[in-house]
Amino acid sequence: MKVLFMITVVGLIIPSMIWAQNLALELDGETAIEVPNSDSLNPKNAITIEAWMNMSKPVGECLAKDWGGKRDYIFPEIVQGGNGLRFVLWPGTKILDVPGLKPNEWQHVAGVWDGKEMRTYIDGEEKGAAAFGAKELAATDASLYIGVGDSQNWFCTGAIDEIRIWSVARTEAEINEFMMKVLNGDEKGLNAHYTFDGGNANDNTKNGNDGDGGFGKPNYVDVTKDLDLQSLSVEPGDKLTTTWAWVKKIR
């Protein structure tokens, strides 16, 4: 991740760049973070869930509001021997499975529901869609778990970063423009945001959906070399300028 700071040279203010660590949450198959339930974690009319993930175990629910029979949503979930990605919404247990997941490789994933249709994206490309015309999404008092879902049989193993939960349906163009950026946390419709760069699971939005407790002892690892996410520009007109060239640079 790059961060911006300002340098004064001969009376001029010049933006400059310095390198900073990009930390991710390491998931060892025994560790998960619990985020207590809140209204902002229960979007009802639309939802987008995004994350960067690099998983080595071919099964697991890596972000889930699904525990003890209380079920709201799961995404991302690993299926198909590690090569498939599952998106689950309630009520009615609507499941969308798509191919294209690659074990031991950083990929950006996004699950979107706009009130009529579920869509799943991998690295900014739509991989599948399914009709789902629920009146509104389920909203239980279950905690959100990062690294596990349903029960302790569904731990994920690998690393996860830049988790975003929105109360709006992001478009494919918006997903592509923002996926290589670290958001500010004040973006419209962004209900929860976890960068892990502070060595914790604090929410970067004003909603205060901080992660605390759960299972195991969280460990945060430097993934800058493999996943170089960029801070949003300080220039308002330069917030949506990312292209696929950034993705190609990390492959």
Q: Which of 185, 145, 124 is nearest to 65 (CA)?
A: 145
Q: Taking 50 as the threshold, does the pLDDT of residue 17 lie above it?
A: no
Domain span including residue 51: 21-250
Tell me whether residue 90 is in a domain. yes
Burial of residue 31, with CB atoms counted within 10 A of its CB: 0-12 exposed, 13-18 middle, 19 or more buried: buried
Q: Is there a contact between 55 and 107 (Cβ–Cβ < 8 Å)?
A: no
The identity of residue 149, as a single letter, is G
Q: What is the CATH number of the domain that holds 58?
A: 2.60.120.200
Q: How far is it, in rounded angstroms, from Cα 203 to Cα 177?
A: 22
Tell me whether residue 5 is in a domain. no
Tell me whether residue 6 is in a domain. no
Q: Is there a contact between 179 and 170 (Cβ–Cβ < 8 Å)?
A: no
Domains identified in the chain, total number: 1
Tell me whether residue 11 is in a domain. no
Tell me whether residue 112 is in a domain. yes
Tell me how many degrees the CA angle 53-105-192 measures, rounded to the nearest 5: 10
- Token pair of 57, please? 């175990």
Tell me whether residue 246 is in a domain. yes
What is the band of 247 on the pLDDT scale with cuts at 50, 70, 90? very low
Tell me whether residue 97 is in a domain. yes
DSSP code of residue 186: -
Tell me whether residue 126 is in a domain. yes
Is the whole model's pTM more than 0.95, yes or no? no
What is the band of 78 on the pLDDT scale with cuts at 50, 70, 90? very high
Q: Measure the CA dihedral 32/59/122/44, to 10°.
A: -60
Q: Taking 60 as the threshold, does the pLDDT of residue 246 lie above it?
A: no
Q: How far is it, in rounded angstroms, from Cα 185 to Cα 164?
A: 9
The strand pairing partners of 131, in sequence order, are 117
**131-179: pLDDT as tens digits:** 999 999 999 999 999 999 988 889 999 999 999 999 999 999 999 999 9
